[in-house]
Chains A and B, each alone.
Chain A
Amino acid sequence: MNIYDLTIHELKDKIAAGEMTPAEIKKAFADRINDVEDRVKSYITVTDELAENGLADYENKKDGLLAGIPIAVKDNMSTDGIKTSCASKMLKNYKPPYDATAVKKLNEAGAVIMGKTNMDEFAMGSSTENSAFFNTHNPWNLDRAPGGSSGGSAAAVAAGECAAALGSDTGGSIRQPASYCGVVGLKPTYGMVSRYGLVAFASSLDQIGPITKDVEDSAILMNVIAGHDPKDSTSIEGKKEDYTEYLKEDVSGMKIGIPEEYFNLDFDKDVKESVLSAVEKLKEAGAEVETVHMTDASYALAAYYVIAPAEASSNLARYDGVRYGLRSEHAADISEMFTNTRHEGFGDEVKRRIMIGTYALSSGYYDAYYLKAQKVRTLIKDDFDRIFNDFDLIITPTAPTTAIELGSNSDPLEMYYTDIFTVPINIAGVPAMSVPCGFDSKEMPIGLQLIGPHFGEGKIIQAAYTLEKLLDISNKRAEL
């Protein structure tokens, strides 16, 4: 195996055994970026200087959990003095004067930060095609999308352009690209990872999480980034655990629910078969699997497409050209400056969502849309709580299909539908992970979604780890 194919824990072992130095590792990944980046295009910014700094500081941080490990960061997480564009023209030249808490924690753990990854503009999209700059290509098939919005992070991990990456997930933006790119993506419980410094899309749904080559790396990365942050009022105190404690091959007695309403949705046959066959393996390994009944996921999707745009319309109002970012040069007065800046700076999907959200919050419609959606949110959350009274985990597919062809989908509503399995999880605030469970007839990876109760990351990791061993596919890499 090549160095760039190795996982975090494998690289750590090699460093510990003296078989490799962090400098060699960094060089191997940098070379890999040089080799494949023109085809994959995962990165908006390759931060070689930042990586060198991390490396130079290695001796001080060698006890850190990520000492000398090359990590990529989605370009919506603030990095001090380094462009943080959110793949938008609006922030093309914006350099934050501070680090996001998650980035700070990576640095403290000794990570070597390789670059900032491509994404859908302001994390709005499911294919990374909404990046204002360029498309990212799926390493398993360069004609296909990597998924989104954390498409750059998922592709970078799958292509060996980093050992692991951080993504953000508002309605599936970590899990769906992880599924498309054949890697592991975890969206933690809302509040487990600080959002401080994560450029907000929908504040009540956004979470940062790891995208990794295997489940063990996910646990390691969670150990680094999870935990209370006084700078984020919604960050939870006292729930952080050592997630590597859950790396056990054991699902005996674990109760797993299979929601019939989700499996009855219209989705790809290969995906369905692959997920159900993986469930069968867990059953053989001792898990108790039962069919459960839940509210139709389409209600969660409908609620999501009110709540997320409403919050976004407010979160993205600050891009007005006064303090940072783009300012239109065509402006006789402040009002023209506002409208022209926002016209020139935002892409089509971002404008569409700002429009929906503004409309849903506007006078006379608040009750019918926003308030109604918040009430449905209660029903969905209660629904998950009810299942988790009796079950440890729920399993669904991560996405209705494998990776779509680049440029194949231009209808917004159809695109939104690709989030049908992932959105309810953000609405309920619970954690969920996408793990690779097989390949379709075109040899594209399929992801299975494990959903846990609030703070159920440990159980998810344990079941996913077991499944990974049973399926024995985590060593398979995209060929480039």
Chain B
Amino acid sequence: MSTKYETVIGLEVHVQLNTDSKIFCGCSTEFGKEPNENTCPVCLGLPGTLPVLNKKAVDYAIMAGLALNCDIAEYSKFDRKNYFYPDLPKAYQISQFDLPVAEDGKIEIETDEGIFNIGVTRVHLEEDAGKLIHEGSIDKSKGSLVDYNRTGVPLIEIVSEPDMRTPAQARAYLTELKMIMEYLEISDCNMEEGSLRCDANVSLRPVGQEEFGTKAELKNMNSFSAVEKGLEYEVKRQREILEEGGEVVQETRTWDESLNKTISMRGKEEAHDYRYFPEPDLVPLEIDEAWKEEMRKEIPELPREKYKRFVSELGLPEYDAGVLTGEKDMAVFFEEVLKDYTDPKNLSNWMMGEFLRLLNENNHSPFESGVTPLNLAKMLKLIDQDVISGKIAKEVFEKMYNSGNDPETIVESEGLKQISDEDELENIVDGIIEANPDAVEDVQSGKDRAIGFLVGQVMKETRGKANPGLVNQMLRDKLMD
């Protein structure tokens, strides 16, 4: 009988903080500069230089800790993590070892299988390393080129508990983290640019066994789908080994996107003896209640809370709430409109339909289009008040998007106002009745559907501007008395 295995996944996520200057020197953190343009004696690790801590980096780490429901350390300090690599100028990374800024938190995630709580072990601050480019391929290269622009950009490392049981959960956790960081506005969270990076520890154990199996550390997953695919591959690989009676080797493996598999970092494993000790060039951090409170005030309603509120208080379907809270600006825009408009579902339909379509087409974020929340509210009210039809509204909306004008002006100047005046419609309706005797007969013989055809003819004649409800009523009055 074959053993059933359970997957155990823990993630280590590095998030670049979007401060203006680096964590220990005044160099700019701007992405995309010429190599080594953002460097100075401190971040180059020149002899004699010393680090001075950027307060904003600490602020952001505290905010992240609070948002992940962690305990914030009253006393925290920095340590040196010693190892040699050409992208690490001091041959040690200033990081935090035993007293991180935040510990012991958790977040809630949701997948198709349900809702799960994932523990957050710790959040600590550290400095980023530089960028190494191999001349030619990594195997055949003659040398490597080093750019230290990224050296010293502040990072937080968020370490999860080994609480995830499927690659889908891991993806959901990572997505939730990214959303939280974006809501806090402390990181760009761009996986392609490397401002969000994810390593995973994966192991399998027989169901019911408490002890963890031997884990592999998975690196180089540079997108959300790569995380899920890499983990899926790794789970399958380990299961096959175990099912054949083999043993999983503890090692670091890298995800190769082009081969669609994980590869062992063949024997290049250095002994992980980092010789941590307290960084003598920095003094300790004491984070008191006042500082914590100040940071707590900076934290907006987070995506998961917002999602739940949109469902419970606004009565939105879960799907809508998920889409609207998936991006902070989308949610903010939505709530801005609701200050002047009262039907959340109707608004949600518009935002997820026309608005999202145009945003995607133009690669805009919600506040980059010509539509302001107030103008959207006005437009929805014009529909509700029968001033314009839903169909005309799409035309109006597109014009608002491109011009930035308010809907009244557009409706007025383009003559798009709905015709709700019976006198004005009288002649047109009479003309349609005269021109369609067959349909009239159908209506009069009780074929109710035929009335729709006649309404459609009137709409066509008025280029969509006639109030369809009124036309319907007028036709009934004229044909069925």
Pick from A77, A78, A96, A317 the residue with the most CB of B within 10 Å: A317
User: A198 on the interface (CB 8 Å rule)?
Assistant: yes
Within 8 Å by CB of B84, from A76, A232, A310, A317, lies A317
User: B146 on the interface (CB 8 Å rule)?
Assistant: yes
Within 8 Å by CB of A334, from B41, B144, B281, lies B144
The reply to whether B146 and A234 form a contact with Cβ atoms under 8 Å apart is no
- CB-CB under 8 A from B144, the residues of chain A are 334
Q: Mark B204-238, 1 if CB is under 8 A from A, else 0.
A: 00000000000000000000000000000000000
The distance from the CB of A333 to the nearest CB of chain B, in whole angstroms, is 9
The reply to whether A233 and B53 form a contact with Cβ atoms under 8 Å apart is yes
- CB-CB under 8 A from B53, the residues of chain A are 233
A→B interface (CB under 8 Å): 76-78, 84, 86, 91, 94, 96-98, 100, 195-200, 202-204, 230-234, 310-311, 313-314, 317-318, 320, 322-324, 334, 338, 358, 361-363, 366, 370
Within 8 Å by CB of B47, from A199, A202, A320, lies A199
Within 8 Å by CB of A196, from B48, B91, B277, lies B48
The reply to whether B82 and A322 form a contact with Cβ atoms under 8 Å apart is no
Rounded to whole angstroms, the CA-CA distance of A313 and B86 in the bound complex is 17
- CB-CB under 8 A from A323, the residues of chain B are 44-46, 89
Rounded to whole angstroms, the CA-CA distance of A233 and B44 in the bound complex is 18
Closest 3 CB pairs of A and B: A317-B91, A361-B275, A203-B280
With contact pairs A322-B146, A358-B275, A370-B277 given, residues A314 and B82 touching in the complex (Cβ less than 8 Å): yes
Rounded to whole angstroms, the CA-CA distance of A84 and B80 in the bound complex is 25
User: B401 on the interface (CB 8 Å rule)?
Assistant: no
Pick from A77, A78, A322, A358 the residue with the most CB of B within 10 Å: A322
Rounded to whole angstroms, the CA-CA distance of A310 and B275 in the bound complex is 9
The distance from the CB of B420 to the nearest CB of chain A, in whole angstroms, is 71
Given contacts A84-B47, A196-B50, A234-B283, 14 further A-B contacts (CB under 8 A): A76-B48, A78-B48, A94-B47, A100-B48, A233-B282, A311-B277, A314-B275, A317-B82, A318-B89, A322-B86, A323-B44, A358-B275, A363-B275, A370-B277
Within 8 Å by CB of B51, from A76, A233, A311, lies A233
Within 8 Å by CB of A195, from B46, B50, B80, B89, lies B50
The distance from the CB of A308 to the nearest CB of chain B, in whole angstroms, is 11
The reply to whether A203 and B281 form a contact with Cβ atoms under 8 Å apart is yes
Within 8 Å by CB of A96, from B47, B89, B275, B282, lies B47
User: B52 on the interface (CB 8 Å rule)?
Assistant: yes
The distance from the CB of A323 to the nearest CB of chain B, in whole angstroms, is 6
Rounded to whole angstroms, the CA-CA distance of A76 and B47 in the bound complex is 9
Rounded to whole angstroms, the CA-CA distance of A233 and B275 in the bound complex is 23
CB contact list, B442-473 vs A, under 8 A: none
- CB-CB under 8 A from B106, the residues of chain A are none
The reply to whether B86 and A231 form a contact with Cβ atoms under 8 Å apart is no
The reply to whether B90 and A234 form a contact with Cβ atoms under 8 Å apart is no
How many inter-chain contacts with C-beta < 8 Å in the A-B complex? 100
7 contacts between A and B (CB under 8 A): A84-B48, A96-B41, A96-B46, A202-B280, A231-B50, A311-B280, A322-B86
Within 8 Å by CB of A314, from B44, B80, B146, B273, lies B80
The reply to whether A199 and B84 form a contact with Cβ atoms under 8 Å apart is no
The reply to whether A97 and B41 form a contact with Cβ atoms under 8 Å apart is yes
Within 8 Å by CB of A98, from B46, B82, B146, lies B46
- CB-CB under 8 A from A314, the residues of chain B are 80, 82, 91-92, 275, 277
Q: Mark B42-64, 1 if CB is under 8 A from A, else 0.
A: 00111111111100000000000
Pick from A91, A94, A98 the residue with the most CB of B within 10 Å: A98
- CB-CB under 8 A from B273, the residues of chain A are 362-363
The reply to whether A196 and B49 form a contact with Cβ atoms under 8 Å apart is yes
CB contact list, B84-119 vs A, under 8 A: 84, 86, 89-92
- CB-CB under 8 A from B48, the residues of chain A are 76-78, 84, 96, 100, 195-200
With contact pairs A314-B80, A361-B275 given, residues A78 and B47 touching in the complex (Cβ less than 8 Å): yes
Rounded to whole angstroms, the CA-CA distance of A97 and B41 in the bound complex is 7
The reply to whether B281 and A233 form a contact with Cβ atoms under 8 Å apart is yes
- CB-CB under 8 A from B89, the residues of chain A are 318, 322-323
Rounded to whole angstroms, the CA-CA distance of A203 and B94 in the bound complex is 14
- CB-CB under 8 A from A96, the residues of chain B are 41, 46-48
The distance from the CB of A56 to the nearest CB of chain B, in whole angstroms, is 26
The distance from the CB of A116 to the nearest CB of chain B, in whole angstroms, is 13
Rounded to whole angstroms, the CA-CA distance of A86 and B91 in the bound complex is 19
The reply to whether A318 and B50 form a contact with Cβ atoms under 8 Å apart is no
With contact pairs A86-B47, A97-B46, A366-B277 given, residues A338 and B84 touching in the complex (Cβ less than 8 Å): yes
The distance from the CB of B81 to the nearest CB of chain A, in whole angstroms, is 10
The distance from the CB of B278 to the nearest CB of chain A, in whole angstroms, is 8
With contact pairs A318-B90, A320-B84 given, residues A361 and B277 touching in the complex (Cβ less than 8 Å): yes
| Least CB separation from A196: chain B residue | B50
Rounded to whole angstroms, the CA-CA distance of A84 and B46 in the bound complex is 11
Pick from B41, B49, B84, B146 the residue with the most CB of A within 10 Å: B49
Within 8 Å by CB of A233, from B50, B82, B90, B92, lies B50
With contact pairs A200-B47, A338-B84, A363-B273 given, residues A230 and B146 touching in the complex (Cβ less than 8 Å): no
With contact pairs A314-B82, A314-B277, A334-B86 given, residues A98 and B91 touching in the complex (Cβ less than 8 Å): no
- CB-CB under 8 A from B280, the residues of chain A are 202-204, 234, 311
The reply to whether B91 and A320 form a contact with Cβ atoms under 8 Å apart is yes
- CB-CB under 8 A from B51, the residues of chain A are 233
Q: Mark B291-317, 1 if CB is under 8 A from A, else 0.
A: 000000000000000000000000000
